[in-house]
Structure 1
Amino acid sequence: MDSSKSEDCEYFGKIHGIPLYKEFIKYWNDVETFQARPDDIVIATYPRSGTTWVSEIIYMIYKDGDVEKCKQDVIFNRIPFLECRTEELMNGVKQLKEMASPRIVKTHLPADILPASFWENNCKMVYVCRNAKDVAVSFYYFFQMVTSHPDPGSFGEFVEKFMDGQVPYGSWYKHVKSWWEKRNNPHVLFIFYEDLKKEIRKEVIKVIQFLGRKPSEELVDKIIQHTSFQEMKNNPSTNYTVLPDEIMNQKISPFMRKGITGDWKNHFTVALNEKFNIHYEQQMKGSTLKLKIEI
């Protein structure tokens, strides 16, 4: 494992104790000093937790269900990724600065290191939480297909790193707890991926109302149709197929892979599952956050 740790050091550094891509850290001051606007809406998640799905739902709400407007550009231009910075391709801060209000902002940052201006301006924030086992599975495949990542090793080895917080954005446990602690803030909506899968209509209405809009039946129907997994998987503006294989090799694994709950059962051995459960109980001890492992 030591060799893989040294390999990881080539790709990741740390900011506030959290592993993050070195290119993001290099320009961290731009993120930390980012100036939010009061009508910004933030979509926050730990990676691989339904970010793109909820982003498209919220974009549809802002465009009053106009599918054509949602297809005019790729999602990472319509909803910039705040802390993402690569020399040649993406610059979330720059995109956002040049964008007219109201802006929709994507981030994977924990609540405690989100730029202070978002809290100071009472921006509305939607946090999506997905059960840790499914996140680990999805993150493993994501690691394989994004070429800027080191080799994740076997699934078992990756899960060990995941449990130890030795992956980009660090500990899943600390991340979800940081946002769970904000759940009573009237400007924060904490929702679950599993609820979206089980009761999409109810959850979409909840998001519409949180954003201060009226949920007409027609709008809700359009959103549910447009943001179904199959629609988004086939939609070039949401499936990331516009990115070249040199950046994201979807021949290895599609960005929109399965979009289901419970896929962890196809990957965890009995022994790994038992180990994970013990670790989970230790890490989440004292937290009132209860996740839906199964629907």
Structure 2
Amino acid sequence: MNGPPPFGKHDIFPNQVYNNIAVPPNCPPERCAALHTEAFTPRPDDIVVSTFAKSGTTWLQNMVYNLVGCPNGPIVRITETVPWLQDSWSVKLEDIEKMKGPRVFKTHDYWSWMPEKLRDTARFIYCSRNPKDQAVSYFHHMKTLEKIYGKICAEMTFNEYFDQIYTKKDVAEFGMWEDHNIEWLEQSARKNILFVTYEDLREDTERELRKMIEFLGLSVDEEIIAETLKQGGFKHMQKSSNLNYSWATEGSKTGLVRKGQVGGWAEYLREKQSAYFDGPIKRVIEAGGNVRCNL
């Protein structure tokens, strides 16, 4: 992993800027732009797991890849086997071009940022998570990845993070939770996007997996479903260095896969912080989203 670049849109942690929004340092504008060129060739069997960050991304990457039969072998590092399309640190575009299909990717991009040539060919699974738990998860994400985000984030309290990062559109990575969700929900009429929620997945993982199987048009036997559920178990993922980003979290007390709870936000959010989300949640529900902050 290369070192972080200079500060971009703000000076709290290293970041890049794409479409006037702060993005992680590993997602330079040059890589995002390259996806719109001949350097990246979409295929009709491509699958893209899309989320606003910390909304079950690694969990879904892992399970979807298992469902399609692990075409590029067992997961060694999730970042290489199921690449983040915009991540220039983990895998080169020429290596992505060599992958066997169906290729499974991840993205945190807005729908409008996705290459037009990919929008009509790929199948997208968009997973949303209630913003209260997502906010807490991102707090721990930034502290765990001190090597990337730096000492300022590592030493922040939750209240400092909430006030200085999460609620600031010019600072927060990928902007605001509601903007991201709404832009994808505006595409709900498309038949090549399946909308799922983190909470539904936690409530009944097998039920949601079967929805994905039908959406992807897969023929999957019960043995593969059982193995996918096993591989997608949080205890398994926490222990797996290939899924838990051990190469990026050395020295941290926890890996990137933490608890996976629904409702854990109650231990962190003050009354005013919880109330902050009333407006964003209302906007997303009015746009057709399903938001549950508890099971």
TM-score range, shorter chain: 0.7 to 0.9
Q: 1:99 to 1:215 in 2, by over 3 A?
A: closer
Aligned amino acid, residue 58 of structure 1? V
- The aligned counterpart of 1:248 is 249
Alignment pair present for 1:149 and 2:149: yes
Cα RMSD after superposing both structures: 2.3
- The aligned counterpart of 2:262 is 261
Aligned amino acid, residue 186 of structure 1? K
Q: Tell me, which stretches of 5 or more residues in structure 1 are unaligned?
A: none
More deviation, 127-136/146-155? 146-155
Q: Give the superposition deviation at 1:91.
A: 3.0
- The aligned counterpart of 2:6 is none
Aligned amino acid, residue 180 of structure 1? L
Q: 1:32 to 1:206 in 2, by over 3 A?
A: same
Could you tell me which of 229, 234, 243 is aligned with 1:229?
Answer: 234
- The aligned counterpart of 1:159 is 162
Alignment pair present for 1:115 and 2:118: no
Separation (CA, whole Å) in 1 of partners of 2:118 and 2:183: 15
- Counting matched residue pairs gives 278
Separation (CA, whole Å) in 1 of partners of 2:161 and 2:46: 35
Separation (CA, whole Å) in 1 of partners of 2:128 and 2:282: 19
Aligned amino acid, residue 70 of structure 1? P
TM-score by length of 1: 0.86
State how 1:53-92 maps to structure 2 within 5 Å. Answer: 53-63=59-69, 69-71=73-75, 73-86=76-89, 90-92=90-92
Q: Is the 8 A contact 1:130 1:194 kept in 2?
A: yes
Aligned amino acid, residue 214 of structure 1? S
Q: 3-state SS of the aligned residue for 2:126? A: strand
Separation (CA, whole Å) in 2 of partners of 1:137 and 1:190: 22
Q: Is the 8 A contact 1:12 1:21 kept in 2?
A: yes
- The aligned counterpart of 2:133 is 134
Q: 1:134 to 1:250 in 2, by over 3 A?
A: farther
Q: Is the 8 A contact 2:181 2:284 kept in 1?
A: no
- The aligned counterpart of 1:32 is 36
Separation (CA, whole Å) in 2 of partners of 1:237 and 1:179: 29
Task: List per-residue Cα deviations over 1:244-292 (Å, max 9, x = no partner).
Answer: xxx4345243211101111101111223222x23443575484232301
- The aligned counterpart of 2:95 is 95
Separation (CA, whole Å) in 1 of partners of 2:216 and 2:285: 33
Paired-residue identity, %? 23
Alignment pair present for 1:175 and 2:176: no
Separation (CA, whole Å) in 1 of partners of 2:288 and 2:101: 36
Q: Give the superposition deviation at 1:193.
A: 0.5
Could you tell me which of 11, 19, 38 is aligned with 2:22?
Answer: 19
Q: Is the 8 A contact 2:82 2:104 kept in 1?
A: yes
Separation (CA, whole Å) in 2 of partners of 1:215 and 1:101: 16
Q: Is the 8 A contact 1:83 1:93 kept in 2?
A: no
Q: 1:252 to 1:235 in 2, by over 3 A?
A: closer
Q: Give the superposition deviation at 1:164.
A: 2.7
Q: Is the 8 A contact 2:51 2:126 kept in 1?
A: yes
Task: List per-residue Cα deviations over 1:225-262 (Å, max 9, x = no partner).
Answer: 22111111112221222x1xxx4345243211101111
Alignment pair present for 1:220 and 2:258: no
Q: 1:226 to 1:252 in 2, by over 3 A?
A: closer
- The aligned counterpart of 1:50 is 56
Separation (CA, whole Å) in 1 of partners of 2:62 and 2:215: 16
Q: 3-state SS of the aligned residue for 1:261? A: coil
Separation (CA, whole Å) in 2 of partners of 1:134 and 1:195: 14
